[in-house]
Amino acid sequence: DGGFDPHEIQAKWQKAWAEKDPFRAGGDADTRPRKYVLAMFPYPSGDLHMGHAENYLYSDIVARFWRHRGYNVLNPIGWDSFGLPAENAAIKRGADPVEWTYANIAQQKESLKDYGVSFDWSRVLHTSDPEYYRWNQWLFQKLYEKGLAYRKDALVNWDPVDQTVLANEQVLPDGTSERSGAVVVKKKLTQWFLRITDYADRLLDDLNQLEGFWPQKVIQMQRNWIGRSVGADIAFEIEGRAEKITVFSTRPDTLHGATFFVVAPESDLAAELAASADIEVRQKFQAYLEEVQRATDIERQATDRPKTGVFLGHYAINPINGEKLPIWAADYVLADYGHGAVMAVPAHDQRDLDFARAFDLPVKVVVDTNAPVTGAIPVIEVDEDGVPIDPLGEVDDLDPVKTGVALTGDGRMINSGSLNGLSKRNAITRMIEELEAKGVGRAAKTYRLRDWLISRQRYWGTPIPMLHGEDGSIVPVPEDQLPVVLPSVEGLDLKPKGSSPLGAATDWVQVTDPETGQTMRRDPDTMDTFVDSSWYFLRFLSPTDPNEAFSMHEARKWGPVDFYIGGVEHAILHLLYARFITKALFDMGLVEFTEPFSSLINQGMVILDGAKMSKSKGNLVLFQEELDAHGADALRVALAFAGPVEDDKDWNDVSTTGAAKFLARALRIAHDVDSETDVVWAEGDQALRRVTHRLLAEAPNLVEQTKFNVVVARLMELVNATRKAIDGKAGASDPAVREAAEVIAMTLDLFAPHTAEEMWQTLGYDGFVGLVTWRQADPTLLVEDTVTAVVQIDGKVRGTLEVSAKIGADELEAAARADEKVRRALGDREIVRAVVRPPKVVSFSTK
Ligand code: ANZ
């Protein structure tokens, strides 16, 4: 192949980039518009894998593209270098986590340089550097000042293998730890929390702004995770007890149908009620509590789980009708949701019904779900006991005790005094008014989201910058004493034992307050590493600044991140935390935007024979090995070509040898071109020019839609057409051949930057092709027919688009969603349905 040695070319251009630093982001004097492109930073456990290869390839394609489009691009890299794997590896091998971590970082850095990624290498950061984590400590203290960091005694998730607490977000749906895989148990501990729940409404509502720019799946996962429920808080008096108990209900309309009352067994309330009951109740309750504590939340809420519970010997009084409701403890009620207590309405709630049937408790229907809810309010006839004389005559359907099915649908209220005849919605409103008038209830919202537990009982993390006095007082470490630097591991036993190893670092942990002379102890816990990554994109803006976490001036210039890419495993954890911290910083006046990432892409996985690659399965394809075998460019092109960014790609479909051949063909074209740099292109072969200009016209849209594989396909077409022209009538000296070769080099830069630079130089140029401005397509050469497509929102035409007559449905829908006018017309309405008829119509329905 004409002596084509990818490694030689690679070394040559990497050296040139290192010397001339062409990818450093421009400073204040740079007047170009700006783009901030970011791939989620790696964790330095071992070597980079194929997931990294994809991630940093895709972000590099976008970064290189925007540079060609005349932008000042920021494309930084750093390491998320605190965390358990370093510590566990250290324990296993008896090594120092510092050494393990920084050796891995050095290795990964080499791999990324070898991969030809156009990072701004002047901005590298590591979250385990004191220069970085001192700003975690600053952030923590800022949050503490604002009341957003607090300590509380709580039932927390405990990982019995890693011997540390976990945030709710780190517990998988099956109740296991996302790190160790161990079944997570509950433990009562005093821990630091960040008050993310203060932001629940904004975190939820602002997701609307991200519609169309973030994957729908991620938006939905965040919505579910925050889980806002709207209803009422209702206070119940308890017989023989001074304080009332409040419950949260989404169905206050059914209050007349409440027949019993349930509290979570592990709540203080249950213990209190049991304590004042007779001995038999107390013993039964104690036994039940022990049984409950062995089950996970998931098991407890499963609808098919047999209902269990114990009567607590007390009664609650229904505030609307004075009825006495027996109080039970049952594990289908969770201690940390709502108020940990519910009014049970078995006729209209399935779990309550199952419980009522299991324990033979009364069931009272208060909604006639057979009655129509639209139209005039029907007169519902009831007999002398208030039982409806069913309008449809199917009384059995209305008997949940017989059918075992709760009546959850809408209908007309019955057996409910002043509410009778109302539909569900109106009845909810009316009941809330009545409760408010009586002073026993009010409209309320409840969230699934819990505060973010950030204390970790492990060594390798940011020390929590707080001091504890002997008298129980807690004060922040004075700012001029930050950072609180981690003590060296020497002499420390890192083995997980349930309390932080730092507690044993006597010299470190004990300090004397210079003012009072009081002995104080440092907080021995370290922060969840998701604190580190919740704001790192801001540190990249002024990574070496010793005086500030980040520069507000730079944040104004660069923020928010324009293009963010990473794995879908961060759909909730990292992305939710980063959104929260951004909003908190906004409220402190430190940033001027409320969402950190304007657009987000989740790349698919690289799999092998349809299965996820993993070390334990022994089916790993190693990044560095592939890099060594085929060179960076062949690997990059093969990955980019293997399929759409979001799709999983089977390694069997990733053809590095095919890519290598393609690159050799491209480079050979540059060698064959037989004309000077100043030829007049217009005089060349028109057929070839049409292929060239179609690429120039289409590639920008395709890149913006992250259809990188299609761009590679177009590039292959152009290489073939150019080869044909060289070998055919046009010949190597035709001006259109040079034009095509130059466009190939410029476009190839996105995917195979070393080969592209080599082509560019071979074609007679001095500068870097990576900095060449994208050429305008000549419209007279774009023969393709275009049509005008209309975009409707809820039946009204809100925009038109000029599109190719051959446009596909996905492309058309994406173009419609991205259209400025359409977006403005949408405002923050949510698209719930899109009907797309290419090439002419897109019709959106909104909520
Ligand atoms: C009475 C009622 C009647 C309810 C009815 C529902 C239907 P979501 O939608 O998930 O927010 N609930 C409240 N706190 C609870 C807890 N700590 N553990 C288990 N269940 C709890 O669910 C809200 C409903 O779940 C509330 O509305 C309450 O039952 C129950 F026909 O109140 B409902």
Q: Which domains does the chain have, with CATH numbers?
A: 144-195+467-529 (no CATH), 228-447 (3.90.740.10), 786-846 (3.10.20.590)
Q: Evaluate whether 420 touches 414 at the Cβ level (below 8 Å).
A: yes
Q: Evaluate whether 97 touches 33 at the Cβ level (below 8 Å).
A: no
| CB 348 near ligand 1, within 6 Å | yes
Q: Given this model, what pLDDT does residue 389 score?
A: 62
How high is the mean pLDDT of the chain?
A: 92
Which residue's CA is minimally distant from atom 9 of ligand 1?
229
| CB 401 near ligand 1, within 6 Å | no
* Angle, CA of 60, 86 and 483, to the nearest 5°: 85
Q: From the alpha carbon of 345, which atom of ligand 1 is closest?
A: 3
| CB 301 near ligand 1, within 6 Å | no
With the most atoms of ligand 1 within 8 angstroms of its CB, the residue from 224, 226, 248 to mutate is 248
| CB 229 near ligand 1, within 6 Å | yes
DSSP SS3 for 835: strand
Q: From the alpha carbon of 337, which atom of ligand 1 is closest?
A: 17
Q: Pairing relation of β-strands 185-194 and 245-249? A: unpaired
**Cα–Cα distance between 786 and 777 in angstroms, integer?**
15
246-273 as b/e: b if 16+ CB within 10 A: bbbbbbbbbbbbbbbbbbbbbbebbbeb
* Per-residue tokens: 433: 């008014």
Is a pLDDT exceeding 60 seen at residue 396? no
Which residue's CA is minimally distant from atom 14 of ligand 1?
338
Q: Given this model, what pLDDT does residue 378 score?
A: 57
**Cα–Cα distance between 520 and 484 in angstroms, integer?**
14
| CB 249 near ligand 1, within 6 Å | yes
Give distance in angstroms: CA of 455 to centre of ligand 1: 31
Element (H, E) at 468: strand 466-469
Q: Given this model, what pLDDT does residue 609 score?
A: 86
| CB 337 near ligand 1, within 6 Å | yes
Which residue's CA is minimally distant from atom 33 of ligand 1?
249
**One-letter amino acid for residue 331 of the chain:** D
Give distance in angstroms: CA of 449 to centre of ligand 1: 16
Which residue's CA is minimally distant from atom 32 of ligand 1?
249
Mean pLDDT for the stretch of residues 560-582: 94
Which residue's CA is minimally distant from atom 18 of ligand 1?
333
| CB 329 near ligand 1, within 6 Å | no
Q: Given this model, what pLDDT does residue 302 score?
A: 73
Is a pLDDT exceeding 60 seen at residue 668? yes
| CB 349 near ligand 1, within 6 Å | yes
Beta strands per DSSP E along 276-408: 309-317, 324-330, 341-344, 367-368
> In terms of C-beta density within 10 A (0-12 exposed, 13-18 middle, 19 or more buried), how is residue 598 classed?
middle
pLDDT in tens, 529-551: 999 999 999 999 999 999 999 99
| CB 251 near ligand 1, within 6 Å | yes
| CB 355 near ligand 1, within 6 Å | no
Which residue's CA is minimally distant from atom 26 of ligand 1?
249
**Cα–Cα distance between 538 and 592 in angstroms, integer?**
12
Is 615 known as a binding-site position? yes
Q: In degrees rounded to 5, what are phi and psi of residue 434?
A: -65, -40
The rounded radius of gyration (Å) of the Cα atoms in the chain is: 32
pLDDT in tens, 449-488: 999 999 999 899 999 999 999 888 999 999 999 999 999 9
| Of 390 and 252, the one with more pLDDT | 252
Give distance in angstroms: CA of 569 to centre of ligand 1: 30
Give distance in angstroms: CA of 248 to centre of ligand 1: 7
Which residue's CA is minimally distant from atom 8 of ligand 1?
229
Q: From the alpha carbon of 258, which atom of ligand 1 is closest?
A: 1
| CB 248 near ligand 1, within 6 Å | yes
Give distance in angstroms: CA of 442 to centre of ligand 1: 16
Q: Given this model, what pLDDT does residue 210 score?
A: 97
Give distance in angstroms: CA of 342 to centre of ligand 1: 6
| CB 446 near ligand 1, within 6 Å | yes
**Cα–Cα distance between 824 and 819 in angstroms, integer?**
9
* Spacing of C-alpha 286 from chain mean position: 41
Is a pLDDT exceeding 80 seen at residue 772? yes
Which range, of 65-69, 371-375, 717-721, 832-836, averages the lowest pLDDT? 371-375
Q: Pairing relation of β-strands 309-317 and 228-238? A: antiparallel
With the most atoms of ligand 1 within 8 angstroms of its CB, the residue from 204, 224, 246, 249 to mutate is 249
Give distance in angstroms: CA of 334 to centre of ligand 1: 10
Q: From the alpha carbon of 338, which atom of ligand 1 is closest?
A: 14
ipTM of the complex: 0.95
Give distance in angstroms: CA of 719 to centre of ligand 1: 64
* Angle, CA of 123, 127 and 133, to the nearest 5°: 110
With the most atoms of ligand 1 within 8 angstroms of its CB, the residue from 332, 349, 364 to mutate is 349
Which residue's CA is minimally distant from atom 5 of ligand 1?
349
Give distance in angstroms: CA of 249 to centre of ligand 1: 5
Give distance in angstroms: CA of 150 to centre of ligand 1: 28
Select, from the ranges 307-321, 481-495, 496-510, the one with the highest average predicted confidence (pLDDT): 307-321
Q: Given this model, what pLDDT does residue 384 score?
A: 72
With the most atoms of ligand 1 within 8 angstroms of its CB, the residue from 204, 251, 408 to mutate is 251
Q: Given this model, what pLDDT does residue 362 score?
A: 97
Percent of the chain with pLDDT over 70: 96
Give distance in angstroms: CA of 259 to centre of ligand 1: 14
| CB 450 near ligand 1, within 6 Å | no
Place 164 in a pLDDT band, splitting at 50, 70 and 90: confident
Place 2 in a pLDDT band, splitting at 50, 70 and 90: very low
Which range, of 97-101, 567-571, 747-751, averages the lowest pLDDT? 567-571
Q: Given this model, what pLDDT does residue 571 score?
A: 85
Percent of the chain with pLDDT over 90: 77
| CB 365 near ligand 1, within 6 Å | no
For residue 265, say if its preceding peptide bond is cis, omega within 30 degrees of 0: no
Give distance in angstroms: CA of 250 to centre of ligand 1: 6
Place 225 in a pLDDT band, splitting at 50, 70 and 90: very high
pLDDT in tens, 616-659: 777 788 899 999 999 999 999 999 999 999 999 999 999 999 99
| CB 338 near ligand 1, within 6 Å | yes
* Per-residue tokens: 738: 């040079």
Which residue's CA is minimally distant from atom 2 of ligand 1?
251
Which residue's CA is minimally distant from atom 22 of ligand 1?
250
| Of 401 and 495, the one with more pLDDT | 401
Q: Evaluate whether 397 touches 431 at the Cβ level (below 8 Å).
A: no
Mean pLDDT for the stretch of residues 156-175: 86
Give distance in angstroms: CA of 386 to centre of ligand 1: 26
Q: Given this model, what pLDDT does residue 834 score?
A: 93
Q: From the alpha carbon of 264, which atom of ligand 1 is closest?
A: 17
With the most atoms of ligand 1 within 8 angstroms of its CB, the residue from 233, 250, 334 to mutate is 250
pTM of the model: 0.86
Give distance in angstroms: CA of 512 to centre of ligand 1: 51
| CB 342 near ligand 1, within 6 Å | yes
> What is the rounded (10 degree) CA torsion for 160, 166, 169, 171?
0
Is a pLDDT exceeding 70 seen at residue 282? yes
DSSP 247: E
Is a pLDDT exceeding 50 seen at residue 1? no
Q: Given this model, what pLDDT does residue 293 score?
A: 82
Q: Evaluate whether 148 touches 195 at the Cβ level (below 8 Å).
A: yes
- 6 Cβ contact list (under 8 Å, min separation 6): 630, 631, 632, 633, 634, 660, 663, 754, 755
